[in-house]
């Protein structure tokens, strides 16, 4: 019971540091130039991801974010499945000097429930990098992955 209380307390502290926005607000900000990052793992993104989102799993976020977005002033929106890992991701980005970071409350589950645009079947950034050699082969291509 103490463990659960500590986790909830910790998440509450993160919510004090990291602004949370609704999926609809995230979509609006994305249309205005914000970078939406889906921090779920590859297998989670296989069922779909918000349209235009960059797939960058939580485990590789700190290692690859500067390649994806070096501008620490650009608004960044972190999204996961339910809204908890995105809080952790957003807090890590803040520690790295990104100044306008928000977490999408409710994550992809809420995004999808609200009927916001998603894409399925496309390779995300992690998978595209992993299969880059095969993608260049005309006989394989993205459809073969």
- In the chain, the largest separation of any two C-alpha atoms, in whole Å, equals 56
Token pair 């659960």: residue: 4
Per-residue model confidence as pLDDT tens digits over 90-124 = 999 999 999 999 999 999 999 999 999 999 875 55
The number of domains in the chain is: 1
119 belongs to the catalytic site: no
To the nearest whole number, what is the mean pLDDT of the chain? 87
Per-residue model confidence as pLDDT tens digits over 18-46 = 999 999 999 999 999 999 999 999 889 98
pTM of the model as a whole: 0.80
Q: At what angle do helices 85-95 and 61-68 cross, to 10 degrees?
A: 60
Residue 4 has pLDDT above 60, yes or no: no
Residues 133, 37: Cα–Cα separation, whole Å: 24
Of the chain, the end-to-end C-alpha distance in Å amounts to 44
- From the list 27, 65, 80, 93, the catalytic residue is 80
CATH code (residue 89): 3.40.250.10
Q: What is the DSSP letter of 36?
A: E
Domain hosting 66: range is: 2-144
Q: Degrees (nearest 5) of the Cα angle 117, 123, 58? A: 85
Measured CA to CA in angstroms, residue 3 lies from 8, 83, 113 at distances of 9, 19, 30
Residues 15, 45: Cα–Cα separation, whole Å: 24
Q: pLDDT exceeding 70 applies to what percent of the chain? A: 80
Residues 43, 51: Cα–Cα separation, whole Å: 17
């Amino acid at each position: 019971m103490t463990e659960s209380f500590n986790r909830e307390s910790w998440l509450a502290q993160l919510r004090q540091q990291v602004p949370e926005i609704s999926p609809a607000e995230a979509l609006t900000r994305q249309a205005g130039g914000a970078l939406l990052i889906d921090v779920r793992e590859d297998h989670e993104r296989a069922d779909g991801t918000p349209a235009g989102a960059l797939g960058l799993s939580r485990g590789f976020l700190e290692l690859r974010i500067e390649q994806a977005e070096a501008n620490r002033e650009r608004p960044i929106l972190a999204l996961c499945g339910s809204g908890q890992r995105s809080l952790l991701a957003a807090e890590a980005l803040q520690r790295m000097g990104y100044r306008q970071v928000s977490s999408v409350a409710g994550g992809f589950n809420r995004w999808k429930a609200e009927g916001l645009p998603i894409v399925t079947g496309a390779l995300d950034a992690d998978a595209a990098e992993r299969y880059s050699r095969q993608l260049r082969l005309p006989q394989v291509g993205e459809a073969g992955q």
